Chains A and B, each alone.
Chain A
Amino acid sequence: MRKQQTRTIKVETLARVEGEGALYVKLKGDQVQDVKLKIYEPPRLFEALLRGRHFSELPDIVARICGICPIAYQMSAVHAVERAFGIAIDPSVRLLRRLFYCGEWIESHALHVYMLHAPDFLGYPDAITMARDYQSIVEQGLRLKKAGNRIVALMGGREIHPVSAAVGGFYKAPSKAALKELVDELKWALDASLATARWVAGFDFPDFEQDYEFISLSHSQEYPFNEGRIVSNRGLDVDASEYEENFTEQQVQHSNALHSVLRGGDSYMVGPMARFNLNFDKLPEVARQAAQDCGLQLPCRNPFRSIVVRAIELVFACHEALRVIHEYEPPPRPRAQTLARASTGQAATEAPRGLLYHRYEIDQDGLITSAKIVPPTSQNQRRIEHDLRQFVSQVATRPTEEITWKCEQAVRNYDPCISCATHFLRMHIERN
């Protein structure tokens, strides 16, 4: 009889994720004993350092939490402050913010689909190696990423940490003519996104489904970016101001990122799959048709198919960007006047990786007295560990090297951003 061996599978540095993390899996025979996603990214303590800063500095400072999704941080921050002060923004500013977010989603999703996730499905260590066999596809991915970056750079001066976002609107609004210059490339990007969806839909997906609680914003008329109620597939339906009554953060010894869970202690999923399942009917026809052609069924519960969902969101974001540019008229003033008053404001917006919650308390001089920021990866962290626990038992009989790669892929399903969450990845699989 074969002895029940204990094996530890360790990935010391998880690759193709943003930030520093490690993965640790302990197996006894083929039974999973323990799974830990260790986040050792050093804490940068943003919520503490924001105290005493002026509200007008928030969009610049919180952008620095994440170089991949700075706009998400800027958007949650400006909306939280506007809600605190009771500022109404101009409808054109609202449109511009949707366009700004389209740029970030296109850039971030194209990066993840082509550079970070696709190599797992095709068996390459990275997209640069993959380009030796798939040069035109990788070039297509880079051009798509650049199309998103062009929107961000046009509206904010640069791709990373753009400088235009302000409480009340923008420091400067683009002209109609400037935005029109993006149209041809975005038309190409829409076609390229449809091609992306067809390409990734042909990958092999492990047979793996979980019963998730999906959480995302939901808006009566649109696929969500900056506005909407926080809803789930299990009946949650609350305003951002009620977020902290429904979710709580827990600290675990093995991670510098807090785990966000539902008040009852359950894990949940945020991000493209949650948005897609909860807001499918708000997608434009072209995206819904593409989803159908890709064989996506509602609800999608296989996290490995998140790459297809991300491609569908690329289709949506390109289509939405073109719609906004078509409708846009510059606002009379780029930003509304802001008068500080002692107040508290909360807001949640949809970062590429999922719901991003901010709360600020502000004094009568406009200085921050307390801040709370809950990034998407904090919210998905517990769920990633649950996925891994289930998934490892499915593949436990395979060679350690194969389990390791598959586990990394299962983590990358979530496009985790560890820089955000500690503000990640090494892997250990333990068997002896």
Chain B
Amino acid sequence: MSSKVKRRPRIGVFKFASCDGCQLSLLDAEDELLGVAGAVEIAYFPEASRAMLKGPYDIGLVEGSITTYHDAQRIQEVRRKCRILITIGACATAGGIQALRNWKDVDEFIRVVYATPKYINTLKLSTPIAEHVPVDFELRGCPINKHQLIEVISGTLAGRKPNVPTYSVCMECKRKGNVCIAVAQGVSCLGPVTQAGCGALCPSFDRGCYGCYGPMESPNTASLSNQLHILGQNNAEITRAFRGFNAWAWQFRKAGEESERT
């Protein structure tokens, strides 16, 4: 047995363009927070602490998308400092809602919001972290599920693959015993193409899934688009449905562009 005291793994939490909601999930794990803080060393988490320890870190949790030149440089530095890099949330894994600019003229967007556009530096595209650096695990959701976050952290620390299902929201609806809202009520629902993880929240609240967990493993978006047509949705509505919080995820991006063309 080693006589050395085992060092607690160091975690850093890094933010890019985002709403802060996914890192807040860590603070929202009220029952687990002090336990997690005892098992790991939260070395860098500016939202929670003014003590900021320099890296390297064993695990880096990255929230947010890359939208500025400065952030495109900063993510390289973050990657170098983190042994394992985990992206959390739709912004970090798919570009977020701010990726709607990717189909538009970003300069025009800036002129709409700011009187002096030249003070604002931003890139034309909002892109996920994995387009910039290698990522070890992507946790989906807008916002992420805090229980999945705890599972990802504990799985990673134990050296095993985190148990995060990649099947669709439909599976969660069936398990909950929800009557299918699309079939029974003719409501537009992205559940069949969206990854599980939320607990089929929207159908449980009498509304269609809006895809905030992004595409499931093998989504048949063309078939869903046909079904949405049958339910009376027009192409503009179907395009909007795919262009939500995971618009730049390639399967949704392709589906949105196909319905926009037709």
Contacts and interface: CB of A to CB of B under 8 A. Distances in A.
Contacts of B204: 157
Nearest to A425: B46
Interface stretch (A39-47, A74-82, A387-395): A39-47
Contacts of B101: 45, 48-49
A163 B207 contact: yes
B51 A129 contact: yes
Contacts of A41: 17
A43 B205 contact: no
A251 B20 contact: no
A161 B24 contact: no
Interface string B102-130: 00101011101111100110100010000
Interface in B69-112: 70-71, 96-98, 100-101, 104, 106, 108-110, 112
A145 B19 contact: no
B248 interface: no
B122 A115 contact: no
B113 A161 contact: no
A105 to B, nearest CB: 16
A405 B110 CA distance: 35
A129 B49 contact: yes
B54 interface: no
B50 A126 contact: yes
A14 B49 CA distance: 9
B143 A48 contact: no
Interface in A112-170: 115-116, 125-129, 131, 135, 138-139, 142-143, 145-146, 149, 156-161, 163-164, 166
Interface string A358-379: 0000000000000000000000
B109 A45 contact: yes
A301 interface: no
Interface in A224-275: 250-251, 253, 256, 258
A67 B49 contact: no
A56 to B, nearest CB: 10
A65 B98 contact: no
Interface size class of B (residues with CB under 8 A): 35 or more
Contact of B110 (A45, A70, A111, A146): A45
A208 interface: no
A151 B15 CA distance: 28
Contacts of B33: 128, 142
A45 B51 contact: no
Interface in A1-53: 13-20, 40-49, 51, 53
Interface of B: 15-25, 27-28, 30-31, 33-34, 37, 42, 45-52, 67-68, 70-71, 96-98, 100-101, 104, 106, 108-110, 112-116, 119-120, 122, 126, 142-143, 198-199, 201-202, 204-207, 210, 212, 237, 240, 244-245
A410 interface: no
A15 B46 contact: yes
A66 interface: yes
B212 A143 contact: no
Interface residues of A, number: 68
Contacts of A250: 115
A258 to B, nearest CB: 7
**Top 10 A-B pairs ranked by shortest CB distance?**
A67-B21, A126-B49, A125-B51, A15-B50, A48-B109, A157-B201, A44-B98, A142-B30, A48-B112, A49-B100
Contact of A64 (B71, B142, B198, B202): B142
Contacts of B98: 44-45, 49
Contact of A60 (B67, B113, B210): B210
A161 B17 contact: no
Contact of A171 (B18, B104, B114, B205): B205
A128 B44 CA distance: 13
B51 A163 contact: no
Contacts of B20: 18-19, 66-68, 417, 419
